[in-house]
Structure 1
Amino acid sequence: MEKIIIREITLQDMEVWQALAKETFFETFSENNSTENMEQYLENSFNIPRLTAELNNPDSQFFMAWDGTMAVGYLKLNSGKAQTELQDDTALEIERIYVKNSYHGQKVGQLLYEKALEMAQKEHKKYVWLAVWEENHRAIRFYTKNGFVAFDTHIFRLGNEEQTDIMMKKVLE
């Protein structure tokens, strides 16, 4: 493994990013969800028009982790009206941190998380928040280890299924 580089995603990265987004979402959630729900979600959430619209939203930021020429993880941040729930101008939402399974345990997620903190501090945010599926125990441990605490729940729809996400936040100093 070379040194992991984190850089902002651009339209030129679209095909690589789309493939990574689909792969990492599938790796993370396919074991616990039906094939039909997964296929529907991947098609609806990670198609080129949708990703292009997300990338063009001025209140969202995207970063990809690279190991040499291979994209191995990515981060999506939302502020202002792009936030999925709270839409608090003093907060930054981490909507997505996804890392290829083959890179778990190699600190890629930590580097992406640190990029999120850097952006929150740069934008003078008071706290960072996120939502994580209640069955994603690895992610919950990761966020708890990094100082996040649960404060609410909300429903996430995956195909025809409703799943409970734990909303967590970390107050910044």
Structure 2
Amino acid sequence: MTTITLRKATRHDIDSLQHISRQTFEETFSESNTEENMKRYLEDSFAVEKLTAELEDENSAFYFAESEGAVIGYLKINFGASQTELKDHKALEIERIYVLKAFLGKNVGQVLYDKAIQIAQEQQAEYLWLGVWEENPRAIRFYEKNGFVVFDKHIFKLGDDEQTDLMMKLQLRNGT
């Protein structure tokens, strides 16, 4: 059994964050996308400058999942104006839960997800939301198992390819 610990990432973790971001994204999506589009996305989205700005954003947070001192996955959450789309102060966005392929099915994603739920409850968020690629059935099943329902769709651009993300929501409590 894998022992998983969580810790909040800081700007001192930028190299680890860039490495785990690129590796998990490539492992998950490279088979379904062109090499050129993947290369462009990995370079742009996980550039040190972009990740540093995200780490320093007070309305975003990254949490590393570690096992035996190695980063095996991470969570990125956004609040308020830092959300990628809805920007609802009553919501928390799960922007990323990425886990190394070798650790899929070993509860890492669930531990990261549970951390997002804990933070949402501490922040008194009314709901969580996220976007998941419509061609990622494993992730869709994971979120459905955890109570998320599809409420909309949006376009996600990977290089020059426009892809459809399902937008999913989990109601935590009723709005006032």
TM tier, smaller: over 0.9
Q: In structure 2, what is the equivalent of residue 31 of structure 1? A: 31
1:102-129 per-residue CA deviation (whole Å, 9 max, x = no partner) reads 0001000000000000000000000000
Question: Could you tell me which amino acid in structure 2 is paired with residue 53 of structure 1?
Answer: A
Shift in Å, 1:98: 0.1
Contact kept, 8 Å, 2:156 with 2:165, in 1: the verdict is: yes
User: Map of 1:1-173 to 2, 5 A cutoff?
Assistant: 2-173=2-173
Shift in Å, 1:49: 0.5
CA distance in 1, matches of 2:27, 2:2: 23
CA distance in 2, matches of 1:97, 1:2: 18
Question: Could you tell me which amino acid in structure 1 is paired with residue 14 of structure 2?
Answer: M
Is the deviation greater in 2-11 or in 36-45? 2-11
CA distance in 2, matches of 1:2, 1:145: 22
CA distance in 2, matches of 1:12, 1:156: 29
Unaligned runs of 5+ in 1: none
- Output the aligned Cα RMSD: 0.8
CA distance in 2, matches of 1:101, 1:143: 18
Shift in Å, 1:169: 0.3
Question: Could you tell me which amino acid in structure 2 is paired with residue 121 of structure 1?
Answer: Q
Shift in Å, 1:3: 1.6
Name the SS for the 2:154 alignment partner. Answer: strand
CA distance in 1, matches of 2:103, 2:118: 22
Name the SS for the 2:50 alignment partner. Answer: helix
Unaligned runs of 5+ in 2: none
Q: Which runs of 4+ in 1 moved over 2 A?
A: none
Question: Equivalent pairs: percent with the same residue?
Answer: 54
1:67-91 per-residue CA deviation (whole Å, 9 max, x = no partner) reads 0111000000001000011000000
Shift in Å, 1:11: 1.3
CA distance in 1, matches of 2:133, 2:111: 21
State the TM-score, normalizing by the size of structure 2.
0.97
Shift in Å, 1:135: 0.1
Number of corresponding residues: 173
Question: Could you tell me which amino acid in structure 1 is paired with residue 32 of structure 2?
Answer: N
Is the deviation greater in 32-41 or in 6-15? 6-15
State the TM-score, normalizing by the size of structure 1.
0.98
Shift in Å, 1:17: 1.2
CA distance in 1, matches of 2:111, 2:168: 19
